[in-house]
């Protein structure tokens, strides 16, 4: 199964205020950029890399580049949210100006969902209000409010003041996901993963699909292709990118890359950074 890249990002930062009326089916997908989601209303759950969260107004959801995720809308109530698409170049610009909000998206502690409180809740409300501004500078104001929120979240994380919302997840599936992402160049055949975790092949495949909505093989391939594409963008030679991302032969890598992105690896510079639905 293919899990598409979605969303468009032609600049360093892009903001949306969206409302979906009625149910809508979202597929698992990923982005080449980070995403911050602020749910405003709706009966919605969010699935990120094997973790399940039920969203409430006042939450902040962090989705890192390359993470498979999807929302699940449970009823016909309107689903309203603010979304920010944030490219690595945005953090480069911030660092050049003397600041760095990128630690908000650090993955070391695996935190994805926070409850906004105090100063960060106020900043989120000011961001929401900025979407109601009837002013030629409204877009600039929205970006300024988002930067304020990111900096406040970064400070709260540094000071231990983030209110982390727990996920509902299967510990075995999370362990397997951690094993996969720890070394994509390792032997990640289904038999090898099953043996490492003392599971039968069929139980492993069924459990992973049930808990994540993804096939195990599809998940591994998507992660390897995402890594390969990132390496190629950094100027890594094609053969080295192939091996470092875990493909055992160039022919398999070539076929998978072209099927996923529509161009061969040597033409990866033709691909947009934003991805496409």
Domain ranges of the chain: 13-164, 170-270
Token readout for 222 is 């998507």
DSSP 156-175: HHHTT--EEPPPEE-HHHHH
Decide if domain 170-270 falls under CATH 1.10.10.60: yes
- Residue 218 CA to residue 211 CA, distance in Å, equals 14
pLDDT band of residue 277 (cuts 50, 70, 90) is very low
Reported as a single tens digit per residue, the pLDDT across 129-159 is: 999 888 888 999 999 999 999 999 988 888 8
Q: Of 127-136, 164-173, 235-244, which gets the smallest average pLDDT?
A: 164-173
- The residue whose two tokens read 């990002």 is 9
Q: For position 35, what pLDDT does the model report?
A: 95
CATH number of 13-164: 2.60.120.280
Q: For position 137, what pLDDT does the model report?
A: 87
pLDDT band of residue 81 (cuts 50, 70, 90) is very high
Q: For position 3, what pLDDT does the model report?
A: 47
Q: For position 148, what pLDDT does the model report?
A: 96
Interior/surface letters 163-174, b for 16+ CB within 10 angstroms, e for the rest = bebebebbebbb
Reported as a single tens digit per residue, the pLDDT across 13-62 is: 999 999 988 778 787 888 889 999 999 999 999 999 888 899 999 999 99
pTM as predicted = 0.79
């Amino acid at each position: 199964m293919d899990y598409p890249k979605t969303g468009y990002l032609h600049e360093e930062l892009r903001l949306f205020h969206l409302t979906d009326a009625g149910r809508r089916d979202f597929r698992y997908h990923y982005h080449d950029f980070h995403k911050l989601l602020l749910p405003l209303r709706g009966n919605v759950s969010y699935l990120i890399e094997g973790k399940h969260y039920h969203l409430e107004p006042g939450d902040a959801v962090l989705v890192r580049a390359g993470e498979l995720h999807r929302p699940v809308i449970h009823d016909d109530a309107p689903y309203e949210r603010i979304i920010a698409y944030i490219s690595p170049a945005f953090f480069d610009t911030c660092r050049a100006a003397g600041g760095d909000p990128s630690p908000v998206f650090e993955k070391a502690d695996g935190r994805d969902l926070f409850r906004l409180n105090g100063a960060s809740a106020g900043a989120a409300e000011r961001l929401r209000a900025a979407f109601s501004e009837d002013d030629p500078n409204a877009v600039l104001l929205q970006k300024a409010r988002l930067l304020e929120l990111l900096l406040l979240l970064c400070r709260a994380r540094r000071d231990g003041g983030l209110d982390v919302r727990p996920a509902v997840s299967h510990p075995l599936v999370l362990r397997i996901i951690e094993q996969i992402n720890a070394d994509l160049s390792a032997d990640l055949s289904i038999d090898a993963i099953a043996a490492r975790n003392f599971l039968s092949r069929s139980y492993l495949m069924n459990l992973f699909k049930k808990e994540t909505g993804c096939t195990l093989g599809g998940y591994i391939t998507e992660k390897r292709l995402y890594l390969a594409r990132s390496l190629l963008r950094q100027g890594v030679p094609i053969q080295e990118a192939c091996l470092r991302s875990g493909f055992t032969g160039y022919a398999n890598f070539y076929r998978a890359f072209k099927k996923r992105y529509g161009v061969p690896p040597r033409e990866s510079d033709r691909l947009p950074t934003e991805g496409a639905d």
